[in-house]
Amino acid sequence: MTTTLRKALLGAVFATALGAGAADAATIKVGVIAPFSGPFAMFGQTFKEGIAVYQAVHGKTVGADTVEFVFKDLDQANPAQSKALAQELIVKEKVSFLAGFAFTPDAMAVAPLIDEANIPAVIFNAATSAITEKSPRFVRSSFTLWQNTVPLANHVAKLGVKKAITAVSDYGPGIDGEAAFKATFEKAGGAVVDTIRMPLKSTDFAPFMQRIKDSGAEAVYAFLPAGPTTLAFAKAFADNGLKEKGIQFFGPGDITQEPDLPALGDAVLGMTTSFHYSQAHESAANKSFLAKYKELFGSSDNATFTSVGAYDGVHLIYTMLAKTGGKSDGLKAVEAVKGLSWESPRGPVTIDPDSRHIRQTIYLRTVERVNGKLQNTEKDAFPAQPDFGYKLGK
Amino acid sequence: METLFGIAVDGVAYGMILFIISVGLSVTLGLMRVVNLAHGAFAMVGGYVASYAAQSFGLPYAGALVVAVLLTVLATLPLESLLYRRIYGHANELSQVLLTIGLTFVIVASVNYLFGPSLKRIPLPELLQGTVALGPKSIPTHRAFVIVAGAVTLLGLWWLLERTDFGIRLRAAVDDPAMAAALGIRTERLYMATFALGTGLAALGGVLGAELLPLEPYYAIRYIVLFLAVVAVGGAGSVFGSAAAALALGITDTAGKYLIPNFGEFFFYAALILILFRWPQGFFKGKTA
Amino acid sequence: MSATMTDAPPTAPTATDPSAPRLASPRRDLSWTAAPLVGLLGLAGFWVFPDDLGLMTRIAAAALYVLSLDLVLGYCGIATLGQAAMFGTGAYAAGIAAVHLVNDPLILLAIGGVAGGAIALATGALILHARGLTLLMLTIAVTQIVQEVANKARDWTGGSDGLSGIDPAPVFGLFRFDMVGRTSYLFALAVLVVGMLVARRIVRSPFGLACRGVKEDPVRVAALGGSPRAYLVTMYAVAGMFAGVAGALTAVSSGIVGLDSVSFSWSAEALVMLVLGGTGRLYGAVIGTVAFMAAHHILAATDPFHWMAFIGLFLMGVVLFLPGGIAAGLERLRDRLTGTRNGSAPGGRA
């Protein structure tokens, strides 16, 4: 771990040194706002690794311009601070792009700024559908809850499940997930018997499990943001005898993200999730992505959806630069990537010209132990899923 | 009826985990009058040591637990003489807050640097996996173990503080430090021992509670409000008070989540306010045990 | 075994109390210079750091917020970890008003102040009978409940997505809020200076002196016919108004309000900044806020990944080497330079 960080720091030093050396060619700066410390540091770390992998593969220059990343730490959701950091990046660092954004409010906060400064912002993670509606200069390379949930809900209905229950974390994305599941599942003829919203700070999930058990549902749709609470949740699910009672688990793949899998252990074995990226995705693009990851950081175990979100986000930035020749017109740059298709480590993707959100294959995966290591094995695929939540209102 | 029983069992299991982690804070706060906000950080250090010992050296659970408690105490003892000793006493409460928050930040950053931000686990032995049946309700074996461990801790502390020479001296030193010193009680050593007791309990709680409060660098800050709530409701310094408070809060939280899941947070804090109205000094104010 | 933390009223970390000794000291009282000095230094900052106005705006608003905590902690001895409840209520009230009703920034500040004062009055009357750890816990619980309300009332507050779309009109109809943040900063600085002046008037008024009396010796105040609790609740509400204005100021200058503005950690940060600067001085709050946020900013910019360790060391260093906070250290330095020697020299422990 320490060597990884040291390497990363060295990399950053070299990047700045190179940037300073190539004074005659222009240096294009990209400001990355993300949590690099604090409880959500995993986001920042994987963003940074994804960026480093992309730059290692595709070089640090586009045409004659050197691309340099400036990192700003925003340790938890704090829109006012996000806006101040963006302001500083634009005014002081003179960045041509903003990127990063782990949480919805942080992204929303910069909407008026990027419009006034006319620069694009590429969202690596924040997953509420409403974000890209707030400014025409937002482009998103991650996912939305609607996108991951709609195919999953249809799948659950197809399995013959009649009664389901939802249990989501009580915040924007969780409520999006609940709404998406309820709408889709009921349209497919199922019934949602109860909707539970769990406080984000919950540590003990046993009472929720008891309630799910007592509800008479055959399946549970659950969403929690990746991180410590997923462990307690998965353990509670395994320990409270829900499996034995025949209640099936479904949810977006945040809950079984790769860095957490070793800690989650057998508790998540056999869990079915839907998501846009699995480390175990079988493709040449993913293989070379992981190989580079391993080369740079010693291990590719932490490569996960946020790393790929950043990796593809940088691809968007590079493409915008290449197509507009570094001219600073944010709207034109965004225009240049509308409809852009490419092969990402996650599979084939396209930027939807309307929503500026990434259209992608959503995979149905099951947690399995392969060669002693837990992984999300892809079982089924739903190609070219758009953001179903775009312009749907609340 | 079955539902009530289920809530009670889950609540007691949760409460006991809260008790084990919080009682160390109650000891340092009540007996040494140190607002030790680094308590969560010490618990986290204990958990990480156990995790590292178990994962990298293959130590069994019990061994990892002992190593974690010992190493955490050894590692934090110098802090007592270097830092805490300068800020003992009532007049320094705000300095204590600032100093221990600073210490927490340093520990959080160090753990993040050394182990990274991902979750860490302490593998459970076969014996503690699976579930045990308690009448109509089954609970995880590990939780049953924690309930027993909590009960043992409770009795052990009561015995230590009420029945041993150490306990008598400690209470004397707390009541009147000057008089105790005049009587030949070496208060400095006594304080050091109490501090060690507090951090040892923190580490114990960090390890035993890791299934419920997972180990990650921000652990140190994330749960401190919960620990403070237990101490406030129980009455600082009271061992039985902490136990009663932890159980009451555990059951309240469980009942709230089960009965009105969408307003569980309201229920918990509203109950906390009501309890503190009825017992503004905590359940067992002024009693050590 | 009766002595617990809950027994004694919380006191400031040192005997550097600004009240009685300072007024009686032969030294000339220079505390009136604080507000104009902050204004001047703030204006200087405007020219020296023209690229950092976003950060400096946040500092100015936060300083007003920390100042509100000083009113209750420094002058009434109420240790609270719930100041964010008032800050956040003010921010949300101003934000909601801006989205639905009015957009004049001054009216929005007034709305924030009234909202912050109202919630402080209501909760203060309820919880200020308690002391020490119990009071800390009660203030935390109040903050958590306010945060839950904000989270649940998504239609009004935007919940966890944040309340966006706050677009204030130009100040006095003349100065538009620009992207670089010139208007925001000067506006925030002006509000801070006015806030300091008003706060100074309050703490020197008979009411303010009575509050200090309650802090020193509640029994005597009661014996003289005053109601200690009424004084405390009133000051708590006044401080709530300050915090509410600070929240509204943040909402107006950033254009968005998030759940973080009613969080426990924001309350705790206020306490850290105040103790860092020094309690019971008003200007200590400003010094602490500037020191903490600037240190945070510089450290996080140099090392976005491990700045926490350095800020932790910084806090510990202040406790160990500058007891009483930065302001107390500065006073000791001034006394040494001017050769002032008197019995009540600040910094000495009683």
Query: Are the beta carbons of B280 and C314 separated by less than 8 Å?
Result: no
User: Hey, which residues does A198 pair with through a beta bridge?
Assistant: A169
Query: Are the beta carbons of B270 and C145 separated by less than 8 Å?
Result: yes
| pLDDT tens readout for residues C90-147 | 999 999 999 999 989 999 999 999 999 999 999 999 999 888 889 999 999 999 999 9
Report the share of chain A in percent with pLDDT over 70: 92
Of the candidates B118, B218, B257, the beta carbon closest to that of A302 is on: B118
Query: What token pair was written down for A346?
Result: 């996650």
Q: What are phi and psi of A96, to 5 degrees?
A: -100, -15
Contacts of A242 in chain B (CB under 8 A): none
Q: Backbone dihedral region of B66: left (phi > 0), alpha (psi from -120 to 50 degrees) or beta?
A: alpha
| pLDDT tens readout for residues A79-111 | 988 998 999 999 989 999 999 999 999 999 999
Chain A partners (3+ C-beta pairs within 8 A): B, C
Strands (E), chain C: none
Domain with C184, as residue range(s), is 32-264
Query: What token pair was written down for A376?
Result: 């999300």
Of the candidates C148, C179, C259, the beta carbon closest to that of A113 is on: C179
Planar angle of CA B22, B27, B30, nearest 5 degrees: 115
Q: How far apart are CA C50 and CA C46, in angstroms?
A: 6
Q: How confident is the model at residue A295 (pLDDT cuts 50, 70, 90)?
A: very high
Query: Are the beta carbons of B118 and A42 separated by less than 8 Å?
Result: yes
Does the structure show a pLDDT above 90 at A57? Answer: yes
In chain B, residues 208-267 whose CB comes closer than 8 Å to chain C: 221, 225, 228-229, 231-233, 235-237, 263, 265-266
Q: Which residue of A has its CA nearest to C301?
A: A72
Query: What token pair was written down for B202?
Result: 């923190």
Contacts of C141 in chain A (CB under 8 A): none
Q: How far apart are CA A78 and CA A269, in angstroms?
A: 35
Q: How far apart are CA C348 and CA C350, in angstroms?
A: 6
Contacts of A40 in chain B (CB under 8 A): 117
| Residue A298 at interface with chain B, using a CB cutoff of 8 Å | no
Residue spans per domain, chain A: 2-143+282-356, 145-275+362-385
Query: Are the beta carbons of C160 and A72 separated by less than 8 Å?
Result: no
CB A307 within 8 A of CB A50: yes
Residues 6+ apart with CB under 8 A from B213: A203, A232, B17, B21, B219, B222, B223
Query: Are the beta carbons of A232 and B211 separated by less than 8 Å?
Result: yes
Rg (C-alpha) for chain A, rounded Å, is: 21
Task: List the pLDDT tens digit at each of the 350 positions of chain C.
Answer: 333 333 334 443 433 444 444 444 445 667 788 899 999 999 999 999 988 898 999 999 999 999 999 999 999 988 899 999 999 999 999 999 999 999 899 999 999 999 999 999 999 999 998 888 899 999 999 999 999 999 999 899 988 888 988 888 898 888 888 877 899 999 999 999 999 999 999 999 999 998 888 888 878 878 877 788 899 999 999 999 999 999 999 999 988 999 999 999 999 999 999 999 999 989 999 999 999 999 999 998 888 778 889 999 999 999 889 888 899 888 888 888 887 654 443 433 33
Q: Is residue C282 part of a domain?
A: no
Greatest CA separation found in chain C? 65
| Residue A256 at interface with chain B, using a CB cutoff of 8 Å | no
Long-range contacts at C314-320 (CB < 8 A, ≥ 24 apart)? C314/B102, C315/B98, C315/B99, C315/B101, C315/B102, C315/B105, C315/C272, C315/C276, C316/B83, C316/B98, C316/B99, C316/B102, C316/B103, C316/B106, C318/B98, C318/C276, C319/B87, C319/B95, C319/B98, C319/B99, C319/B102, C320/B83, C320/B86, C320/B99
Contacts of A109 in chain C (CB under 8 A): 162, 164, 254-256, 258
CA distance A220 to chain B (A): 15
| Residue B258 at interface with chain A, using a CB cutoff of 8 Å | yes
In chain A, residues 137-156 whose CB comes closer than 8 Å to chain B: none
- CA-wise closest residue to A220 among A233, A231, A229: A233
Count Cβ neighbours within 10 Å for each residue of C122-161 and write b for 16 or more, e otherwise.
ebbbebbebbbbbbbbbbbbbbbbbbbbbbbebeebbbbb
Q: Is residue C103 part of a domain?
A: yes
Residues 6+ apart with CB under 8 A from C342: C25, C26, C27
List of domains in chain B: 2-122+136-278 (1.10.3470)
Query: Are the beta carbons of A105 and C160 separated by less than 8 Å?
Result: yes
| pLDDT tens readout for residues B187-210 | 888 889 999 999 999 999 999 998
Residues 6+ apart with CB under 8 A from C88: C143, C146, C147, C150, C247, C257, C261, C262, C263, C266
CB C80 within 8 A of CB C72: yes
Q: Which residue of C has its CA nearest to B264?
A: C148
Q: Is residue C311 part of a domain?
A: no
Residue A48, Cβ density class (10 Å: 0-12 exposed, 13-18 middle, ≥19 buried): buried
Does the structure show a pLDDT above 80 at A16? Answer: no
Does the structure show a pLDDT above 50 at A24? Answer: no
CA distance A172 to chain C (A): 6
Q: Looking at domain A145-275+362-385, which of 3.40.50.2300, 3.40.50.300, 3.80.30.20, 3.40.50.20 is its CATH number?
A: 3.40.50.2300
3-state secondary structure chain A: CHHHHHHHHHHHHHHHHHHHHCCCCCEEEEEEEECCCHHHHHHHHHHHHHHHHHHHHHCCEECCEEEEEEEEECCCCCHHHHHHHHHHHHHCCCCCEEEECCCHHHHHHCHHHHHHHCCCEEECCCCCHHHHHCCCCEEECCCCHHHHHHHHHHHHHHCCCCEEEEEEECCHHHHHHHHHHHHHHHHCCCEEEEEEEECCCCCCCHHHHHHHHHCCCCEEEEECCCCHHHHHHHHHHHHCCCCCCCCEEEEEHHHHCHHHHHHHHHHHCCCEEEECCCCCCCCHHHHHHHHHHHHHHCCCCCCCHHHHHHHHHHHHHHHHHHHHCCCCCHHHHHHHHCCCEEEECCEEEEECCCCCEEEEEEEEEEEEEECCEEEEEEEEEEEEECCCCCCCCC
Q: How many CB atoms lie within 10 A of CB C21?
A: 16
Q: Which residue of C has its CA nearest to A5?
A: C305
CA distances from B260 to A198, A234, C159 (A): 10, 21, 19
Residues 6+ apart with CB under 8 A from C323: B95, C13, C14, C347, C349
Q: Is residue C305 part of a domain?
A: no
How many domains does chain C fold into? 1
Does the structure show a pLDDT above 90 at A340? Answer: yes
Residue A1, Cβ density class (10 Å: 0-12 exposed, 13-18 middle, ≥19 buried): middle
Greatest CA separation found in chain B? 59
CA distance B274 to chain A (A): 21
Question: Which residues of chain B register pLDDT less than 50?
Answer: none
Of the candidates C148, C181, C256, the beta carbon closest to that of A109 is on: C256
Q: Is residue C159 part of a domain?
A: yes
* Best to test chain B binding among C149, C264, C316, C318 (most B CBs inside 10 Å): C316
CB C120 within 8 A of CB C86: yes
CA distances from B13 to A128, B139, B269 (A): 36, 9, 20
CB A238 within 8 A of CB A325: no
CB B17 within 8 A of CB B209: yes
Q: How confident is the model at residue A394 (pLDDT cuts 50, 70, 90)?
A: very low
Residue A241, Cβ density class (10 Å: 0-12 exposed, 13-18 middle, ≥19 buried): middle
Query: Are the beta carbons of B269 and C11 separated by less than 8 Å?
Result: no
Q: How many residue pairs from chains A and B have C-beta atoms closer than 8 A?
A: 114
| Residue A198 at interface with chain C, using a CB cutoff of 8 Å | no
CB A269 within 8 A of CB A369: yes
pLDDT recorded at residue C8: 39
Of the candidates B29, B98, B175, the beta carbon closest to that of C272 is on: B98
- Contact residues, chain C to chain A, C-beta under 8 Å: 51-55, 57-58, 148, 151, 154-155, 158-162, 164, 167, 179-181, 250, 254-261, 265, 300-301, 304-308
ipTM of the complex: 0.90
Q: How far apart are CA B173 and CA B178, in angstroms?
A: 8
In chain B, residues 52-81 whose CB comes closer than 8 Å to chain A: none
Q: Which residue of C has its CA nearest to B221?
A: C265
| Residue C12 at interface with chain B, using a CB cutoff of 8 Å | yes
Domains A2-143+282-356 and A145-275+362-385 fall in the same CATH topology: yes
Contacts of C261 in chain A (CB under 8 A): 80
pLDDT recorded at residue B7: 87
Q: How far apart are CA C50 and CA C158, in angstroms?
A: 33
CA distance C93 to chain B (A): 21
pLDDT recorded at residue B285: 63
Strands (E), chain B: 131-134, 137-140
Contacts of B261 in chain A (CB under 8 A): 196-198, 207-208, 211
Q: Looking at domain A2-143+282-356, which of 3.30.499.10, 3.30.365.10, 3.40.50.2300, 3.30.1360.120 is its CATH number?
A: 3.40.50.2300
CA distance A338 to chain C (A): 26
Q: Quick one: how far is CA C307 from the chain centroid? A: 24
Three-state DSSP at C163 gives: strand
Of the candidates B90, B113, B174, the beta carbon closest to that of C1 is on: B174
User: Hey, which residues does B114 pair with through a beta bridge?
Assistant: none
| Residue B112 at interface with chain A, using a CB cutoff of 8 Å | yes
CB C46 within 8 A of CB C184: no
Query: What token pair was written down for C105?
Result: 């920034």
Three-state DSSP at C46 gives: helix
Cα atoms in the Cβ-side hemisphere of radius 13 Å centred on C6 = 30
Query: Are the beta carbons of C142 and B221 separated by less than 8 Å?
Result: no
Q: How far apart are CA A330 and CA A136, in angstroms?
A: 9
| Residue B81 at interface with chain C, using a CB cutoff of 8 Å | no
- CA-wise closest residue to C64 among C194, C231, C166: C194
* Best to test chain B binding among C66, C69, C137, C307 (most B CBs inside 10 Å): C137
Q: What value does the mean pLDDT take over residues A221-233?
A: 87
Give the DSSP letter of residue B217.
Answer: T
What pTM was computed for the model? Answer: 0.88
Query: Are the beta carbons of C309 and B235 separated by less than 8 Å?
Result: no
In chain A, residues 100-119 whose CB comes closer than 8 Å to chain C: 104-105, 108-109, 111-113, 116-117
| Residue B265 at interface with chain A, using a CB cutoff of 8 Å | yes
CA distance A72 to chain C (A): 6
Mean pLDDT of all residues belonging to chain A: 89
Query: What token pair was written down for A368?
Result: 């399995």
